[in-house]
């Protein structure tokens, strides 16, 4: 009984102690909770940053590798290389005092990082910071020595690790810069292929998670990154290099000539496979280095733009280029002008390269047969307008073929009248003028508002449209339509990418040529080829200087005066194909306001000479064999080319050269208010040619041009073509704009 009583007393006593202990623990818990509340309230943000810092250290993003861009032969145009960011873990380096000096010494000796500020940072953040970037985007060769020291047995180098990422590189520098585009610092494509195929080239980032297991050891789970796909382009880097070489050569010959600045405002070239729409080369001048896109030295020579993108009338030079960065808007506008692709973004009046389109519309619609002749008296009266031909003295009766050969404006106006505006506009639409080609490049311009429709086109508009003035187009629009003119009428959608390849090398997608429509019949196409061939080989052909030695090609020259009319500033061009009898490639060169005096700017030879130089190298490279016997002069030229490629500078004067001159300036007087007062004249060409009075004009020794004694105008002494300037004034003014802007 006594023993049981003692046991009960002991139990009651223990119960009291347990209650006291429980109350003590409860009070302690309340106190700790209160303390945590105070810490969270007063220092929560500080601890939150510390936790996030630790999480970033333990949970790492694994970058993907952006897909490469290859040329048609597999050469790398753009690729991504692994680089390393140097990361400082202040907590780890501060665990022992003996870690600090060896680590700082290695940073300075191996990586060249100044350590004074780092020492101060570690001291201020030794308990909080685990992620601090010391250097960015170092290559492996730069960090290799540091890693060797860090991995040595017994090394005291602690608290430094390397974060991987990828840097976009362009082995060709400025090669095909307008086509390729570039990426921003966050790996997003801008301009060109980089932007258009951004989703294809981009991959998916991976993740590495760190966590503590049951034994408090750090373990990691990795979700690997998925790299982007590679795109294979139709661009041939060798052809592209040839094109860019001669665009640069042109600039070097004509820069700072008539005025300060580049050899032209823009010079562009496209080479395309006529039977597939594949772009083999696309380039414009000036260019920029894709590895250094914001280097303002590339802007020197370009027209200076203001903050709204309008021209100031000045040119960027070594003195004012440094001031561009003072206004971010001004800098952006000028860099954007450099980065955009002239071949697809800028619009302009194409001029006489559009004449084969006019003829094709007339023949295909049945409006003409192509065998007609029209009398050119130097002008044609349309409504209240006297619209002049480029030969103001008249060519007399010309067949349609001769009209194309000599680039006769009057001939084309008669054809357009016979065709009618409804049919004329229908064929413009068929050739995709006014519509985007949907080429797979970012930045193609819309031109729907820059062409006429049935309700807005008047008789004068129809007349001027027939020879390529009054409406705007882009180079790629004209090129794609022209290929259909000479390949049998088959319009292919132009494209730059032929294949998409996975990171493992498997083909994801083959991008086949896309035939959209047939613009004209094969019979009409054959007639157009014959006419364009005469432009190059005909006695009076305006494109003789485009023919490369040993080859017969076809094509069409073009000039168009820019707005405002009468400024004597021209866009000159040549659009051609080779070989003439079996077209395989087409080439289009546009020179936007060559840097020469106004009285000789109206000269397509600025474009044809570039074409000749390019084709002289491209045709043999493409395996297209010569069809013509070489003259002694041509043989000497080709031998000189093998030694030093085309080193002789081209002359800006025509003088009494045997080369023919394109000068398709048209002049009108008055305003458009009515229909043509002229009747269409057809015949069999039985009348004798008009007297070539210009051959009796005196020659200006300073320019080599003939001078019309009545007007003082400069005239080509061989063809009678007005050169757009005068010896003593007397220049007729151009008509008012047809309300179509010159182009962005």
Q: Which DSSP helix (H) or strand (E) runs through 41?
A: helix 2-58
Strand partners of residue 78? 69
350 token code pair: 């194409």
Complete DSSP assignment for 98-133 = GGHHHHHHHHHHHH----HHHHHHHHHHTTT-S-EE
667 token code pair: 């002049």
The tens digit of pLDDT for each residue in 525-544 reads 999 999 999 999 999 999 99
Cβ 469 vs Cβ 351: under 8 Å:
yes
For residue 683, count other CB atoms closer than 10 A to its CB. Answer: 12
Residue whose token pair is 């005291």: 156
pLDDT at 635: 83
The tens digit of pLDDT for each residue in 336-360 reads 999 999 999 999 999 999 999 999 9
Query: Alpha carbon of 191 to those of 198, 222, 341, 510: distances in Å?
Result: 10, 34, 8, 23
Cβ 499 vs Cβ 383: under 8 Å:
no
pLDDT averaged per 10 residues in sequence order, the chain, 744 residues = 53 78 83 79 61 53 93 96 93 90 92 90 88 92 92 91 93 97 93 97 87 62 92 98 96 94 96 98 97 96 95 94 92 96 96 97 96 93 85 90 95 96 96 96 95 95 95 97 98 98 95 97 97 95 94 95 85 97 96 90 93 95 90 82 53 36 37 32 40 69 70 68 53 33 32
Rounded-to-integer distance, Cα 477 and Cα 611, Å: 19
Cβ 737 vs Cβ 407: under 8 Å:
no
Rounded-to-integer distance, Cα 617 and Cα 715, Å: 34
Strand partners of residue 271? 281, 587
Cβ 549 vs Cβ 630: under 8 Å:
yes
CA-based nearest residue to 529, from 316, 274, 291, 186: 274
pLDDT at 443: 93
pLDDT at 640: 79
Out of 3.40.1440.10, 3.30.460.20, 3.90.1310.10, 3.40.50.300, the CATH code matching 61-233 is: 3.90.1310.10
731 token code pair: 């220049």
What torsion do the CA atoms of 629, 635, 638, 644 make, to the nearest 10 degrees?
180
442 token code pair: 């970012």
Backbone angles phi, psi at 401, to 5 degrees: -60, -45
The tens digit of pLDDT for each residue in 168-184 reads 999 999 999 999 999 99
Q: How many helices (H) and strands (E) does the chain have?
A: 21, 28
Q: Which residues contact 572 (CB under 8 A, 6 or more apart)?
A: 351, 557, 558, 559, 590, 591, 594, 601, 602, 603, 604, 606, 607, 662
Complete DSSP assignment for 234-261 = S--HHHHHHHHHHHHHHHHHHTTSSSSS
CA-based nearest residue to 742, from 590, 565, 563, 594: 563
Q: Which DSSP helix (H) or strand (E) runs through 83?
A: strand 76-88
**HSE-CB of 250 using CA atoms within 13 angstroms:** 33
Q: Edge-to-edge, what's the strand order for the sheet holding 713-715? A: 706-707, 713-715, 722-726
Q: Which DSSP helix (H) or strand (E) runs through 280?
A: strand 279-285
205 token code pair: 């980032």
**HSE-CB of 162 using CA atoms within 13 angstroms:** 18
Rounded-to-integer distance, Cα 535 and Cα 718, Å: 16
Backbone angles phi, psi at 696, to 5 degrees: -100, 0
Residue 197's SS3 state is coil
507 token code pair: 């083909």
Q: Which residues contact 251 (CB under 8 A, 6 or more apart)?
A: 262, 263, 264, 267, 285, 286, 301
Rounded-to-integer distance, Cα 344 and Cα 274, Å: 18
Rounded-to-integer distance, Cα 86 and Cα 135, Å: 5
Rounded-to-integer distance, Cα 23 and Cα 17, Å: 10
pTM attached to this predicted model: 0.80
**How many angstroms from the chain centroid is the CA of residue 327?**
25
């Amino acid at each position: 009984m006594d023993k049981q009583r003692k046991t009960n007393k002991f139990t009651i006593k223990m119960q009291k102690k347990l209650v006291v202990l429980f109350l003590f623990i409860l009070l302690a818990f309340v106190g700790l909770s209160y303390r945590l509340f105070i810490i969270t309230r007063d220092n929560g943000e500080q601890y939150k940053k510390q936790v996030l810092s630790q999480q970033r250290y333990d949970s790492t993003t694994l970058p993907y590798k952006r897909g490469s861009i290859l040329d048609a032969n597999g050469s790398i145009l753009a690729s991504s290389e692994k680089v390393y960011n140097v990361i400082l873990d202040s907590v780890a380096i501060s665990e022992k005092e003996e870690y600090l000096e060896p680590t700082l010494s290695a940073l300075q000796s191996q990586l060249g990082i100044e350590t004074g500020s780092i020492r101060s940072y570690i001291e201020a953040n030794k308990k909080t910071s685990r992620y601090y970037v010391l250097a960015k985007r170092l290559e492996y060769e730069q960090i290799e020595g540091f890693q060797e020291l860090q991995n040595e047995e017994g090394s005291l180098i602690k608290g430094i690790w390397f974060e991987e990422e990828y840097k976009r590189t362009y082995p060709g520098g400025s090669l095909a810069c307008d086509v390729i585009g570039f990426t921003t610092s966050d790996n997003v494509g801008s301009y060109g292929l980089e932007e258009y195929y951004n989703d294809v080239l981009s991959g998916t980032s991976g993740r590495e998670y760190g966590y503590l297991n049951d034994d408090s050891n750090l373990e990691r789970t990795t979700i690997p990154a998925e790299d982007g796909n590679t795109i294979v382009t139709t661009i041939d880097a060798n052809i592209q290099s040839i094109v860019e070489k001669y665009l640069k050569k042109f600039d070097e010959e004509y820069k700072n000539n008539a005025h300060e600045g580049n050899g032209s405002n823009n010079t562009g070239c496209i080479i395309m496979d006529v039977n597939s729409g594949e772009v083999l080369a696309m380039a414009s001048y000036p260019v920029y280095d894709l590895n250094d896109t914001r280097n303002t030295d590339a802007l020197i020579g370009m027209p200076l733009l203001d903050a709204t993108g309008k021209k100031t009338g000045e040119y960027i030079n070594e003195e004012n280029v440094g001031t561009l960065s003072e206004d971010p808007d001004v800098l952006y506008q000028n860099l954007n002008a450099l980065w955009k692709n002239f071949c697809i973004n800028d619009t302009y009046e194409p001029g006489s390269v559009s004449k084969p389109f006019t003829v094709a519309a007339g023949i295909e619609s049945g409006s003409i047969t192509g065998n007609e002749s029209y009398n050119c008296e130097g002008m044609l009266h349309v409504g209240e307008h006297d619209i002049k031909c480029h030969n103001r003295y008249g060519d007399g009766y010309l067949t349609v073929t001769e009209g194309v050969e000599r680039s006769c404006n009057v001939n084309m106006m008669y054809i357009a009248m016979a065709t009618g505006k409804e049919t004329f506009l229908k064929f413009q639409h068929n050739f995709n003028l006014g519509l985007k080609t949907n080429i797979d490049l970012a930045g193609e311009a819309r031109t729907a508002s820059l062409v006429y429709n049935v309700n807005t086109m008047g008789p004068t508009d129809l007349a001027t449209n027939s020879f390529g003035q009054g409406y705007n187009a882009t180079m790629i629009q004209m090129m794609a339509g022209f290929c259909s003119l000479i390949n049998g009428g088959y319009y292919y959608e132009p494209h730059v990418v032929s294949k998409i390849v996975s990171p493992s090398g498997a083909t994801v997608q083959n991008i086949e040529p896309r035939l959209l429509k047939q613009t004209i019949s094969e019979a009409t196409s054959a007639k157009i080829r014959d006419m364009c061939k005469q432009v190059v080989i005909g006695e009076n052909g305006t494109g003789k200087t485009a023919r490369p030695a040993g080859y017969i090609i076809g094509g069409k020259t073009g000039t168009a005066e820019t707005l405002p009319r009468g400024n004597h500033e021209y866009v000159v061009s040549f659009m051609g194909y080779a070989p003439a009898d079996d077209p395989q490639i087409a080439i289009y060169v546009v020179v936007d306001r060559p840097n020469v005096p106004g009285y000789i700017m109206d000269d397509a030879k600025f474009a044809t000479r570039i074409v000749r130089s390019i084709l002289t190298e491209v045709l043999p490279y493409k395996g297209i064999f010569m069809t013509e016997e070489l003259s002694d002069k041509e043989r000497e030229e080709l031998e000189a080319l093998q030694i030093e490629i085309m080193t002789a500078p081209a002359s800006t004067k025509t003088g009494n050269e045997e080369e023919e001159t394109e000068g398709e300036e048209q002049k009108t007087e008055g305003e458009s208010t009515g229909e043509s007062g002229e009747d269409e004249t057809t015949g069999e060409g039985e009348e004798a040619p008009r007297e070539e009075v210009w051959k009796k004009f005196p020659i200006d020794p300073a320019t080599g041009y003939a001078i019309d004694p009545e007007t003082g105008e400069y005239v080509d002494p061989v063809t009678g073509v007005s050169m757009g300037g005068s010896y003593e004034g007397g220049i007729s003014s151009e008509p008012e704009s047809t309300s179509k802007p010159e182009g962005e």
